[in-house]
Amino acid sequence: MYPQLPLPFTLQEDFNFESFIAAGNQLIVESLKNPDEPFIFLWGSLGAGKTHLLQSACQYQTQLGGTASYLPSKELTNTSPQLLDGLANIDLICIDDIEFLYGKPYWEEALFNLFNQIRQVGGRLLVSSTVSPQHAEITLDDLKSRLNSGLPLNLSTLDDESILQVLQSRAQKLGLELNRETANYLITHFPRDLHTLWNLLNQLDQASLAAQRKLTIPFLKAALAKSI
């Protein structure tokens, strides 16, 4: 028996297009907003911002009065593929980290059927992965063909300046004051992917509240000593 997983999954409120630092990815943002793009395959490295963009697309769709559903594949693997039944009636389906469903016959078949149903009713599908559709390790050839039929968008990683902007923006939302020098310490002493950096900011938020201290480099060194 598969455990039942409620839908829809919760979106992070601050994952929206306005808070996304596009830098060289502005054309990708515009494509995700475009209602005339029925299927987009978004791929890029871990921490490049794929989850942020898919959740942004869902929020944007609902703001326009439509319906949207966000599906994180990592949380789907131990559930039944029947979870996808009837989703084609939703205006926009976003499947994050789809590679976690590759090589699972029942899921691949369910994804293939969902793809065909969405196309039949004129809906939209966005999927994300760390690898391009051409390099997808899919068992079902028909599904691989479908995934290669959409618009492939390669999300480029942010440069140092853009990462600093993202960190300072995120810190501000948490109520933290993160100056440029301190932010630069984070990106030069820790992995540069946004997922890791945001988790570090959450740790610093808790530590700062507990110690009633500002975010200085000495405080960061002490608070994140176990993470280095």
Selection from 178, 135, 174 nearest residue 154 by Cα: 135
Task: Please return the burial class of 19, using the count of CB atoms within 10 Å of its CB with bins 0-12, 13-18 and 19+.
Answer: middle
Burial pattern 203-215, b for ≥16 Cβ within 10 A else e, equals ebbebbeeeeeeb
> For position 94, what pLDDT does the model report?
96
Fold of 17-154: Rossmann fold (3.40.50)
Give me the phi and psi of 200, to 5 degrees please. -65, -40
List all residues 6 or more positions away from 207 whose beta carbon is below 8 Å from its beta carbon: 213, 219, 223
Q: Provide the residue ranges of all domains of the chain, joining segments of one domain with +.
A: 17-154, 160-227
Domain 17-154 shares a fold with domain 160-227: no
**Residue 11 phi/psi, 5° resolution?**
-95, 145
Per-residue pLDDT of the chain (228 residues; tens, 9 = 90+): 333 344 557 788 878 898 888 878 899 999 999 999 999 999 998 878 899 999 999 999 999 999 999 999 999 988 889 989 989 999 999 999 999 999 999 999 999 999 999 999 999 999 999 999 999 999 999 999 999 999 999 998 778 888 888 888 888 888 888 899 998 998 888 887 777 887 888 888 888 888 888 888 888 888 888 665
What are 34's two structure tokens? 């475009």
pLDDT at res. 145: 94
For domain 160-227, the CATH architecture is: Orthogonal Bundle (1.10)
